[in-house]
Structure formats: C-alpha cells, structure tokens
Amino acid sequence: MSETNIFDKAEILKWLREEDPQALSELYAEADGRRRQTVGDAVHLRGLIEISNYCVRECGYCGLRASHRDLKRYRLSREEILGCATEAVTLGYGTVVMQAGEDYGIRTEWLAKIVRRIKQETPLAVTLSMGERPVEDLRTWREAGADRYLLRFETSDPALYALIHPPRGAAPSDRIAILKTLKQLGYEAGSGVMIGIPGQTFESLAADIEMFRRLNLDMIGVGPYISHPATPLGSGLWRRNVDASAQVPNTEEMVYKVVALTRLVCPNANIPSTTALATINLRNGRELGLERGANVVMPNLTPVVYRSLYEIYPSKACIFETASTCYSCLNQRIASIGRSVGSGPGGRVQ
C-alpha cells in the first residue's frame, strides 16, 4: 500500500469496500505501525462526566432527543462534578471530558466557574462537549480555561445530515463552521461520525474521512450507529432509501476500517477506541480499536445512579460500573495488549 494512495478518495473508497481478511490485516498493521510512530504506545485515559441528559435538539438517532418524554432527566450539581474531577485526579487521569445534551439549563457562567475551579485546583486538561452552543458561550468557556471541545459532524453528506439532524429555529445547523470557530478560539477541536447510519453510503463515508483531514482535527472519534427504538431513525419513521449495495453496514469490521484509515489520513490525531465500539463487542472491541489505529479510551466517571439515564443508544457498555471498576478494567485491557497508560494531559502531538 503506497502512502500517497491512501490520501486519495478513490483509495479510501476501495479500502472501505475491501473484504479480503489478508488485505485488511495489512491495513490494520499499517495503521498500528503509524500510530506507534506518531503518538507512541501510551494510551491516554479521558474521564468522561456526563453532566446532563437534558437536550433541546431532535436528532433522529439519539435517545436524548427532547421529545423522548419517557426518559428521566438529570443534571449534576457543581459538587457532584467537582467530586468526579477529584476522582479523575486520584485515578491518575490527565483529562476530564464534560459532556451533555444541548442543555441551556447549563448556564454559561455556571459552567465557566466549574472549569475555572478545575483548572486552578487540578492539573487536568478540560474537554467540553456541550453541543452547538453560541460562539459567546464557547469563548467564555475557553477564557475560563477549557482546553478542548468535541462536536461530531456525524456525516458530511448534506442530504443525510438534513434528514437526521433538524435545525433549531431558523438558522441552519452548521457543525463544520462551529469546528472552525473552535479552532480560532484556540481549542483543540475534535469531531467524528457514526458508521452505518441508515442512508449512509460508502461514497459519503469516504468523504467524511477526507473531511477529517481537511479540517485538520486534533481528535477524531468514530463508532457504530446503534439503533435506538425510541427515535425516528431507529423506528424507521425517518428513512432515506439507498441501494443496498451503497449502504454502509454498522458492523464492527466497518468501524475498524474507518479507525485504521483515519489514523493513516490524520497520523497525529488523538483517536479514541469508543464506548459504542465496546458496546457491539464487549469482549475485546476496545482492544481491537487500540490495535488498529486508536490511542485513547474514555473511562466513565459519571456517578452510577445517573449512568443508565445517559442513554444515547441502548445497552451502552459499562453502565453499572463504578469509576474505579472502569479504571481497573481498562488498565488490565491496555496491559493485555502490551501497551501502557499515558500520563499527563496527552494533547495533540505536533
């Protein structure tokens, strides 16, 4: 496989359609080698705190969508969040990721104060994932000390995006524009897509990977689309029919292909082996992701009483595990593949 070829869309497309196990194992070995050269053997742990499951949006795939009335909603208190951050320090994590639905009950200044406290009192890097908040909010949080922001663009295919992701109010939802703003504000910017969304074609997935490169992303997370029956996409109510041969399957193998190609196209990025991947292969999905291009995992720090309520998709991995069980489990998994746990914030390598 020549290095220049991998950068071209036709080559990406060919790999996405590849089914020969021998060829795929070469792709995975190449990605693993590139990962070792660029970001090394350390696996960085990012402690995930799911601070609220309220959401004003109506994404067609997501269990947190506003009109999912049966879901009990919660928002963590400041003390609960700071408790999780303390636990992150105790467990030796370098980063906390605070994630929520797009929840304007999370007041801008309230979160800014929490970010300031964490930055003043701990050595942690702070990542936020709060949805499509206005630029003033993003600026306030950056000024408070937030280091990174995650916002997946989900698909680069405009028609599919429009179907699954209704805008809020009159303004169009433009996540690519927000990602550019985040970079201008000095955040490390992370994004990603779901793999195997109904109506997603191989062509559009190849374009997604090209988009990762074009945006020069610092972090790229990809995982399988997992159908949620309480959503219009999961129930088949919203549907975009594409040829069966063009439809990307939401299989484990497709996720590995995309992780490996992403590493080859964006060699320096931080790439997590995601919880969604672990969910479709509880036995060793995480490890295989780490052996095929990924270098980050995100152990859950959310207090166990709230875990099952952050139900983006059903049967999420680790919902009954405490922070320290998740930590030991991941440590053991990382050691089992001959890798080490990273220390420090683990920001993007240049």
With CB under 5 to 8 Å by kind, the binding choice for 331 among ligand FES, ligand 5AD, none is none
> Residue 80 or 321: which CB sits closer to ligand FES?
321
What residue has token string 């950068």? 7
Minimum distance of ligand FES from residue 116's CB (angstroms): 29
- Give the residues lining the site for ligand FES (CB under 6 A): 299, 318, 321, 325-326, 329-330
With CB under 5 to 8 Å by kind, the binding choice for 318 among ligand FES, ligand 5AD, none is ligand FES
CA angle in degrees (0–180, nearest 5) for 6-203-239: 150
- Give the residues lining the site for ligand 5AD (CB under 6 A): 61-62, 152, 154, 194, 223, 225-226, 228, 276, 312-313
Minimum distance of ligand 5AD from residue 53's CB (angstroms): 11
> Residue 71 or 326: which CB sits closer to ligand FES?
326
Minimum distance of ligand 5AD from residue 42's CB (angstroms): 25
With CB under 5 to 8 Å by kind, the binding choice for 330 among ligand 5AD, ligand FES, none is ligand FES
With CB under 5 to 8 Å by kind, the binding choice for 226 among ligand 5AD, ligand FES, none is ligand 5AD
> Residue 101 or 342: which CB sits closer to ligand 5AD?
101
With CB under 5 to 8 Å by kind, the binding choice for 228 among ligand 5AD, ligand FES, none is ligand 5AD
End-to-end CA distance of the chain: 25
> Residue 91 or 276: which CB sits closer to ligand 5AD?
276
> Residue 144 or 301: which CB sits closer to ligand FES?
301
